[in-house]
Amino acid sequence: MTKKLEDLFITGKYTIKNAMKHMDKGSRKILFLTDKKRKLIGTITDGDIRRWILTDGDLGAKVDKIYNDNPVYVDRYTSKRRIRKIMLEAGVNSLPIVDENKRIVNLLFWSDVIKDEAGMPSKAQALKIPLVVMAGGQGSRLDPFTKILPKALIPVGDKPVIELIIDNFREHITDAIYFIIGYKGEMIKSYFDNSGAEYKVKYIYEKDRALGTVGGLKLLPRTISNTFFLSNCDTIIKARYDDIYSFHKKNGYDLTIICSMQHFVVPYGVVDINSGGELKKIEEKPEYDFLVNTGMYLVDKKTLRYIPRDRTFHITDFIKKLKRKKCKIGVYPVSEKSWLDVGQWEAYKETTKNFQGKL
């Protein structure tokens, strides 16, 4: 068995946080829980971790809190035809092959069974909803780059970031693409008008002044679909967009915020004092985990009535107003490595490094 496959195995000693990091190393979105002899115990998917996060579960807990103890598997004598049937019926794209002692001897993936056939279990469903990209800001955090180029055209590898965002969505989105543009907007329009892209972009202009992160949404046509994806022009999310859409609709949310679980280490000793200034405790380099807003959302059109016309209005203002109006707001968590950010220099350099050799 190759090292790449070995990386999909974990034991019960792993915490959920460790499992998240381990899963981020690969692209399969599944781990196999085994004992020391590779006997299959269960499976853990990114969905299992996401559900745990949404219940405010402790990431330091052991993986036995979340694993599926009834995994699908086959023995080495199972025919390919039978394996194909099992994978389709169970909706899985990976199967462990076990021996008579239930020890994993190999892993089989859908691509090993059949290629280029409709019905692949893991294939994302195409969504006939629009993508709206907010590309009107000045990108001052990337100054002096953005004195020359709009933030949306900042290169990552051999493409501008906004094109990578669209490429990422094209597998999932089959409806219109809107750019809300302002600062150096004609450069963005010129790029796409001359790019030879197969898709059509519709431009919404913030003509007189910048309207904030969501103020420009008021300029969208009334005919836009009832639900649409909204993205900053500096954020790339690697996720199943059909799953995000299903989560949004199933729970009846008016707005869903896609958030990334981020791990932070304070590089100093942190002190806690009482009201008189006496030291209570000191903690050296404490670590914290937070769900961070990535700048991508799923929005219901009916919420746009709460955005004022011709006024600067930011996403934080929007969320606060929706809360006051008793609208339902959901949070869809993704892993740390599922979010690529180019909105500030350090994040941009890290994202560029991650894309080396991948584009």
Q: Is 243 helix (H, G, I), strand (E, B) or coil?
A: helix
User: In this predicted structure, which of 148-152, 203-207, 219-223 has the lowest mean pLDDT?
Assistant: 148-152
The pLDDT of residue 154: 78
**Predicted pLDDT of residue 29:** 85
Q: What is the DSSP string of 68-88?
A: BSS---EETT--HHHHHHHHH
What pLDDT is attached to residue 121?
Answer: 46
* Measured CA distances, 49 to 134, 189, 228 (Å): 30, 40, 26
> For the chain, what are the domain ranges?
3-113, 131-355
58-80 exposure pattern, b = at least 16 Cβ within 10 A, e = fewer: ebeeebeebbeeebebbeeeeee
pLDDT digits (tens, 9 = 90+) for 334-350: 988 888 877 555 655 56
Supply the pLDDT for residue 147: 65
Q: Are strands 40-45 and 30-34 parallel, antiparallel or unpaired?
A: antiparallel
pLDDT at 115: 53
Q: Could you read off the pLDDT of 252-270 as tens digits, one per residue?
A: 999 999 999 888 888 999 9
Band the pLDDT of 4: cuts 50, 70, 90. Answer: low
3-113 classified as CATH 3.10.580.10: yes
Q: Where does the pLDDT of residue 187 fall: very low under 50, low under 70, confident under 90, or very high at 90 and above?
A: confident
CATH 3.30.460.10 fits 131-355, yes or no: no
| Nearest Cα residue to 133 out of 158, 164, 155 | 164
**pLDDT score recorded for residue 349:** 58
